[in-house]
Structure 1
């Protein structure tokens, strides 16, 4: 750990309820007030070189000394501030606050290049999401004794959308013994694109994904993966002329969501050249190799802990076939991972976002039973 900054205190459960309501979340699981910190810590970049990252730690007030950590991995953002430690009373931080108010230590990595971390964000890069998440856990363990707490060994993992795959990556690392203290306690990912190359990318062109979302995800995929792998030589090869000159800048971490929405077309067909479409519909070369790594979060390990997969029928962004693919892969490896359909709950017009709002209290109650509450 490099530094810890106290961000805010919600002194009572009622204060927590108000905070969560401002973000569109319910507060019926709140039993404690909380205190929130931003931790900045050392980690490694996608090439294993030293760098730094940040994250949000939220601790319950008037609670037991020994706390289970709940690690929450957040969904996709484009601006550096689209991360848990940078936003209060927001969609990104509310689940962390909710878990802490239920009596756990809420831990949320910002990921590389987000929050206070330098450089661009390597979106959907499971390796760096895993190392940033694990190192944030280690930073939290180093800090909490200053508050009179210690962290238990078993960690409960959850995450939403992009963070669902990140949570599985962290679970795989803990299950493999990559940390000397922490162990995998349970997994509850929400609405993930687990089969990103095999299911999610084809869905961008098949009408199952909201057209605007499809255009944004197609752009982010090509730009982010090209930073790490030789996907295209020039943006003009894959993006139509109206967007090719400015599309990469939209994902530099300094542009906001509204700027991204304004700088991309309404459909993936208007965004991509024939070559760009062919790359995403039929990945090959370095992109195909990278996607095989991204798509392995459910297939190449056997979780030695309880698993539940949360989703919402009619998800307009992460098509639910991803969840079925993950459940089937785990089942082939002998793991029973029940799927919990949280129903049709919209958050700001999105059933995808609504699944996170609906799943959070259910996950808290399940984690409570596992913690013996």
Structure 2
């Protein structure tokens, strides 16, 4: 997260508005807007993806959608309809396979076809739980509003531990990100049925930054048959860290990742992944004083990115102990396992069309990640285009790519209708 990204995050806070719901939306949700959808006895035996509750959170006319997107420098030409959005609470599993709940945002167009194709949108790195798409109307909702206003349903999982989901967020844990995403698709299918907008089963997957990696992993799971109701129709991740061991981690130390972002990402990743892989017993083994005494508390879901950055060192070199810095650059054992656990998302052959979007001037997630992903896919005889957005930074790659992805999904849907 460079200085410009920090500024964009500050701007996001001023963008958060909550407007009254229309009478139509209120009537549509009458009787179950905020009430549980299952009795206590039913919830005890509920399966993954089962809805717990649906809450209406936004109702925007077409003009309001255009204003929302234009205010964030997003092209508005894909917009055709207004949007209604709902927070879904649903049943899923934690990284250990134990039952838990998660939340996510379901967005539906106010018009268009009765039966809707579905977009899965995976958001980028967030530390404050209330910034999640179902909770806050800021950048996390851009792809949802953009694609829903183009005439598709959009399911945007908050992930575990964000939004109203319990516990800490297992940052960059691919397996639980996929289960939460798949279960969000299932919950979206049930909610869309109840709201009178049933889904076709065709799924377009996208995501930005952390979400780009999640989208790739979700695409692989869908084509692997993780749920018989959903068919992967298109896959368009943006600026994802697909290659931690080969690209992203080395870039933290060779200057390709800027200092502010490097400190933020590596501290978040180390704290979250240590809960799963246990490569340090005490934070002081990894982090220098005084940061070792505060780093874990900064990632409690209540601090925003600015709080985290202010509480840590100015560079990765000043953040990590010399011994742990050496371990990061020559990983073995549990530390290497943690890196590799996220590096399999491009190791498959997609049948659905795929495009990888990235920016050449990205100093958060360097474009080498996308090129590594394309090489992995090519090894399986899948030749995927890397859409190089040129001299744009991390946030700029999102601003440029989001409407392009929506247009590409439009084109894919048009081809599908001709078959």
**What is the TM-score normalised by the length of structure 2?**
0.85
Q: How far apart are residue 146 of structure 1 and its match?
A: 2.2
- Say whether the 8 Å CA contact 1:193–1:318 is kept in structure 2: yes
Query: Which position in structure 2 is the counterpart of 1:370?
Result: 412
Q: Which residue of 2 is the match for residue 34 of structure 1?
A: 83
The aligned runs of 1:1-373 (5 Å cut-off) are 1-11=51-61, 13-88=62-137, 90-299=138-347, 301-345=348-392, 351-372=393-414
The CA deviation at 1:264 is 1.1
- Pairwise CA distance, 1:180: 1.8
Report how many aligned residue pairs link the two structures: 365
In the aligned structure 2, how far is the partner of 1:159 from the partner of 1:340?
15
CA deviations over 1:125-167 (Å, ceiling 9, x no partner): 0000000000001000001122221111220000000001100
CA distance in 2, matches of 1:132, 1:277: 32
Distance 2:329 2:73 in 1: 36
Take 1:215 and 1:148, find their aligned partners in 2: how far apart are those partners?
46
Q: In 2, Cα distance between the equivalents of 1:370 and 1:335?
A: 18
Deviations 1:95-144 (A, max 9, x none): 11100000110110000000010000000000000000000010000011
| Aligned counterparts of 2:119 and 2:271: Cα–Cα separation in 1 | 32
CA RMSD of aligned residues (A): 1.1
**Which segments of 5 or more consecutive residues in structure 1 lack a partner in the other structure?**
346-350
SS at match of 2:406: helix
Q: Residue 348 of structure 1 corresponds to which residue in structure 2?
A: none
Report the alpha carbon displacement of residue 303 of structure 1 after superposing the two structures with TM: 1.2
Report the equivalent of 2:20.
Answer: none
Contact preservation (8 Å) 1:24, 1:91: no
Larger Rg: 2
Structure 1 residue runs of 4+, over 3 Å off? none
Q: Secondary structure of 2:414's partner?
A: coil
> How far has the Cα of 1:357 moved from its partner?
1.0
Distance in 2 of aligned mates of 1:308 and 1:337: 6
Q: Is there any run of 5+ residues in structure 2 with no aligned partner, and where?
A: 1-50
Partners of 2:173 and 2:111 in 1: how far apart? 38
Distance 2:148 2:124 in 1: 19
Partner of 2:11: none
The question of whether the paired residues in 1 share the 8 Å contact of 2:147 and 2:154 is answered with: yes
